[in-house]
Amino acid sequence: MIPSPGPVTGPFSGRTLAGLGRDLREGRTSAAELTALALDAIAAHDPGLNAFVTVDAAGAAEAARRADAELAAGEDRGPLHGMPVAVKDLIMIAGLPVTMGSRHFAGHVPGTDAACVALLRRAGAVVVGTTTTHEFAYGPTGDRSAGGPARNPWDPSRMTGGSSAGSGAAVAAGLVPLALGTDTGGSVRIPAALCGVSGFKPAYGAIPADGVFPLSRTLDHVGVLAATPEDCLLAYGCLAVAPPPAASAPAVAWLEPESLFPGDPRVTAAARAAAGDVRAEVRMPAEVAELFRETYLAIQSCETAAVHAGRLAAAPGLFDPEVLDRLRLAAELPGWRYVRALEARRALEEHAEALFGGHDVLAMPAVPILAPPIGAREVTAGGARVQVRAALLAMTSPWNVLGRPALTVPAGTVDGLPVGLQLVARPGGEAALFAAARQVRGGRCGPAVRGGGPA
């Protein structure tokens, strides 16, 4: 696929990891050059985007030098070797400030890398800095963070979506070719969709979450954002506990998004067009959609309140006011509803199986609305007023409840704003997902636009 850049165009716009890797190995560029490009682009563009919280110019330059030295010595760590990568600001990086987007962790510097960061480094990647997260990842809008909202490269007055807000913006603006995010209800896929890039949330636990600040332990997934699904797959192969085998010609069914949420018909049409020929069109029964929503809300609320109960009691004023209000509500949810939700989760597995039927992959819009203005909590979609948070989470959160692999790929634009097509697989169906991404119209992968150096 040729990634279509938004209005902000950085050095990695229109590039893929595969293409950059070829350039690197064929001597047309170096890790040091790629890193310098990233750092320069961040300096130039980030003031308008607020994608980054902390930039580690010295550490990145040093890592890049090491990567170049290793390659020169014949040591090749694979597809991420020498690649500049950004990391969401709640994934621990040894020696760098990691703040969870919160005043509670202002100046907090972890002593140890998160497992996924250690895997990045083992793969030769160059960590250039941390990206804006919604405070404690507790919000899909990406616009409540101690350092201010991340801004959408397609229209800086609009939200990126969250909570991996800065990771979406940084990749979309071409500042880095790859970013890590976390996804508890859609927090990788929502910013990927609203920013017009690819985002992959693998199966629960497939990328280790050790050293990631928890939002909701049984829903939290680590994921990746990149221009194309192929780049996501390359990165996933370096981070996964057990990378997937190849697969071909999966059977794709279209899941009618209106059966989950009343969204913007233009978004549905764009995603449906990107999905192209499908084997079937299926609907989620209304009571199943409702059970998914209730189950997600109960599990997420109780687990999140458990994480923050101490801070909520000791220093509530340090939270963003909206985050504080939501946490207080979450802390009041009675435990029996959590118990019921854990039971419902098992029932929902069966409902999902019925929904998949004989198909390998379900396709649907990743987000049923266009990127709303920063701060908006209600927008008009299809002539009706809809709640922004509910809309953002509607298509993505069911697959966190079930821990299923899900990928969003760019599916064109509506009114100059990106639309994402989400593909969801069965447990163990990661390969089918990427095969489907190649198959569907919008996600077709191909060579990078430019064969030459990125400079």
Q: How many residues bind its own copies (CB under 8 A)?
A: 20
Of 126, 194, 130, 183, which is closest to residue 376 (Cα–Cα)?
A: 194
**Residue of 102, 145, 163, 301 marked active site:** 163
Which stretch, 159-167, 237-245, 325-333, 407-415, contacts its own copies (CB under 8 A)?
325-333
451 part of the interface to its own copies, by CB under 8 A? no
Strand partners, 225: 179, 199
Q: Among 116, 333, 362, 436, which residue interacts with its own copies (rule: CB under 8 A)?
A: 333
Q: Does residue 187 carry a catalytic annotation?
A: yes
Q: Which is nearer to its own copies, 17 or 302 (CB)?
A: 302
Q: Which tokens go with 212?
A: 């990631």
**Residue of 88, 102, 201, 216 marked active site:** 88
Q: Which tokens go with 273?
A: 């067009």
CB of 327 to its own copies, least distance (A): 10
Which stretch, 22-30, 63-71, 337-345, 415-423, contacts its own copies (CB under 8 A)?
337-345
Strand partners, 344: none
In contact, 192 and 420? CB cutoff 8 Å: yes
**Gap between the Cα atoms of 32 and 19, Å rounded:** 16
Q: Which tokens go with 241?
A: 């506990």
Number of neighbours of residue 451 by Cβ within 10 angstroms: 11
Of 15, 7, 13, which is closest to residue 447 (Cα–Cα)?
A: 15
CB of 304 to its own copies, least distance (A): 8
User: Secondary structure of 288-320 in the HEC alphabet?
Assistant: HHHHHHHHHHHHHHHHHHHHHHHHHHHCHHHCC
Q: Among 8, 274, 305, 362, which residue interacts with its own copies (rule: CB under 8 A)?
A: 305
338 part of the interface to its own copies, by CB under 8 A? yes
Contacts of 216 (CB under 8 A, 6+ apart): 184, 299, 300, 303, 304, 307
CB of 25 to its own copies, least distance (A): 46
Q: Which is nearer to its own copies, 111 or 335 (CB)?
A: 335
Q: Which tokens go with 98?
A: 């990691």
> What residues between 243 and 302 interact with its own copies by CB under 8 A?
298, 301-302
Q: Which is nearer to its own copies, 339 or 354 (CB)?
A: 339
**Gap between the Cα atoms of 328 and 332, Å rounded:** 7
174: left (phi over 0), alpha (psi -120 to 50) or beta: left
Which stretch, 86-94, 148-156, 330-338, 424-432, contacts its own copies (CB under 8 A)?
330-338
197 part of the interface to its own copies, by CB under 8 A? no
77 part of the interface to its own copies, by CB under 8 A? no
Q: Among 27, 246, 248, 336, which residue interacts with its own copies (rule: CB under 8 A)?
A: 336
Q: Which is nearer to its own copies, 317 or 335 (CB)?
A: 335
CB of 321 to its own copies, least distance (A): 20
**Residue of 13, 164, 187, 198 marked active site:** 187
Q: Does residue 88 carry a catalytic annotation?
A: yes
**Gap between the Cα atoms of 321 and 304, Å rounded:** 16
328 part of the interface to its own copies, by CB under 8 A? no
**Gap between the Cα atoms of 320 and 281, Å rounded:** 42
Instruction: For the chain, give the number of residues.
Output: 455
Q: Does residue 201 carry a catalytic annotation?
A: no
> What residues between 342 and 401 interact with its own copies by CB under 8 A?
343
309 part of the interface to its own copies, by CB under 8 A? yes
Q: Which is nearer to its own copies, 251 or 306 (CB)?
A: 306
Cα 20–231–397 angle (5° rounding)?
150
CB of 340 to its own copies, least distance (A): 5
Local structure of 19: helix, strand or coil? helix
334 part of the interface to its own copies, by CB under 8 A? yes
Backbone phi, then psi, for 182, in 5-degree steps?
-130, 155
17-27 burial, b if ≥16 CB within 10 A, otherwise e?
bbbbbebbeee
Binding site for its own copies (CB under 8 A): 298, 301-306, 309, 330-340, 343
Q: Which residues are catalytic?
A: 88, 163, 187
